[in-house]
Amino acid sequence: MRISAFIASLDISPANALFALGAAILSFFAMHGVLLLVRKRLSRLSEERAHRPVAEVLSRTLARTSTLAIFVTSILIGLSVLDLPPPWNTRLGHLWFFTLGIQLALYLHRAIRVGARRYFRAHSHGREDEQVTVAHTLVIWVLQTSVWAIFMLALLSNLGINVTTFVASLGIGGIAIALAVQNILGDLFASLSIAVDKPFEVGDSISVNNFSGTVEHVGLKTTRIRALGGEQIVIANAELLRNTVFNYRRMSTRRIQFTLRASPATPPELAARVPQALGELIGKHEKLRFDRAHLKTVDQNWIEYEVVYTMLDTDYNLYMDTQQAINLDAMRMFAELGISTAPRPQHLLLQELQGQPAPAGHAGVRPAQTRMRTS
């Protein structure tokens, strides 16, 4: 009786009610059909490598479509074709906002989870340790919480509730909390930056400020580095990212520049043969690429050659072994060419006083004998 009286109060004709019912049923099946077609199309696109990432995210996001949401939406479509009095038009608008808003929030919730996990999996290089998993979960949680917070504020605003004061209160409270724990938050966001941007990973050999070592652990607040001397260095994440980090593991080649010195008394004809000889002895190594060798400096003490080559392997021990072999070959080459590596001889002039001590009352200079020594 009450439902009949309520329908009678809305002054809805039977024809209008039947039309609204037909529109609701038709829209329900139409939305289901469109959803199935779109998911099938996305399934085909996911087989293509170029469209696979986007298609996978969209397909798994649409799978979150609620049957209840489709049903409620079809009912709202049917109610929209009815000739409702003004108060009910406003309430119907609120229902539309709530239904579509919550479905959109569910889509974004799902898309963030699927997209973020796919991104982290593609950039993890096969690593799924505890620290990486915690950081990734925290990133996803922050993004999803932001989506639902925005939806709730928008819903309250749509219902006519003034959220300006509420947002201002949240802002003031958030500022107070942020100031109280700014160091912790700084390290936390630095940890998230390391997890997402990946300037270095566990196992990388890095150099920061005045120390070098291997990264052992990347936590939410600190990073632990095993120094070359064996000790463990614990540094805050924010402090670490404020400095320049040299990551030696990311090297693809190693450029080497060194100098060799010879005596300035070397004849020009012999000095001109050294660069070519250096190129030949460096070129015989398999994992080296010779770049150049030039007579760079000529002065009174030395003639200096600058040699540059590139190692195609970044292993440090291999570099040291190779450099040692090059130095020994260079010593043999200088010996075969007859080039001395000794500096120019130094001439020291000595004066020795001769004769008896000067007579009393005479302050003249004593006779001297000059001798020259070479060193």
SS3 of 139-160: the string is HHHHHHHHHHHHHHHHHHHHCC
Using 50, 70 and 90 to split pLDDT, how confident is the model at 260?
Answer: very high
Structural domains of the chain ordered from first start: 6-123 (no CATH), 183-249 (2.30.30.60), 254-337 (3.30.70.100)
Q: Which of 14, 3, 20, 155 is nearest to 75 (CA)?
A: 20
Q: Give the pLDDT confidence of 39-80 residue by residue, as tens digits.
A: 777 777 766 665 566 777 777 777 777 777 778 888 877 777
Distance CA 284, CA 347 (A): 42
Q: What is the pLDDT of residue 352?
A: 61
* Residue 36 confidence (pLDDT) above 70: yes
Q: Which of 83-92, 166-175, 224-233 has the highest mean pLDDT?
A: 224-233
Q: Using an 8 Å Cβ cutoff, are 227 and 207 in contact?
A: no
Q: What is the pLDDT of residue 1?
A: 45
Q: What is the pLDDT of residue 275?
A: 94
The angle at the Cα of 268, spanning 264 to 270, to the nearest 5 degrees, equals 95
Q: What is the pLDDT of residue 262?
A: 92
Q: Which residues contact 116 (CB under 8 A, 6 or more apart)?
A: 136, 139, 140, 143
Q: Which of 190-204, 240-254, 322-336 has the highest mean pLDDT?
A: 322-336
The three-class DSSP label of residue 53 is helix
Calculate the average pLDDT of the chain: 77
* Residue 182 confidence (pLDDT) above 50: yes
Q: H helices within the chain, ranges in order?
A: 2-9, 14-45, 52-62, 67-80, 86-122, 130-158, 164-180, 182-197, 237-241, 268-283, 316-337
Q: What is the pLDDT of residue 122?
A: 67
Q: Give percent of the chain with pLDDT exceeding 70.
A: 74
